[in-house]
Amino acid sequence: MIALIQRVNWAKVEVAGETVGQIDKGLLALVGLEKADDRQHAEKLLEKILSYRLFSDAAGKMNLSLRDVDGGLLLVSQFTLAADTGRGLRPSFSSALPPAEAELLWRSVTDMAAEKHGNVETGQFAADMQVSLQNDGPVTFWLQV
């Protein structure tokens, strides 16, 4: 399971011109699900996202987590993160979790996130989404479990 997390001043997701998820200061997490992923992977990755220290403390050091700053979390499913780009000029998605299984696991991820952190918004699974954000820093990290 992969997450590309970005510290943002704001972020939103639109589907067919309608805003389906929006946060102010917090994290945008683009999440890719791979074939070997399960609920345990989801729990571990979610805990890492919520606890990762990438917000500045009073001294300007990255010592605070999303929980510490009570920021928003915008979760967006992105199967392209699971792509194999090692050969050729066209990505292979053979390592991505099949859509039906991915949707079940995705719903589990979003439900867990809502339980663990009150300020959670999501994109729409398998939709053509338009993601807008203002990256703060920029601060972007790749997390994988």
User: Of all helices (H) and strands (E), which one includes residue 120?
Assistant: strand 120-122
Which candidate in 80, 85, 134, 144 is catalytic?
80
Which candidate in 6, 55, 78, 110 is catalytic?
78
Which candidate in 6, 55, 79, 110 is catalytic?
79
140 is catalytic: no
Q: Which two tokens stand for residue 113?
A: 């996130």
78 is catalytic: yes
CA nearest neighbour of 81 among 15, 26, 136, 37: 37
Report the phi/psi class of residue 61: left, alpha or beta, with left for phi > 0 and alpha for psi in -120 to 50: beta
- List, by residue number, the catalytic residues: 78-80
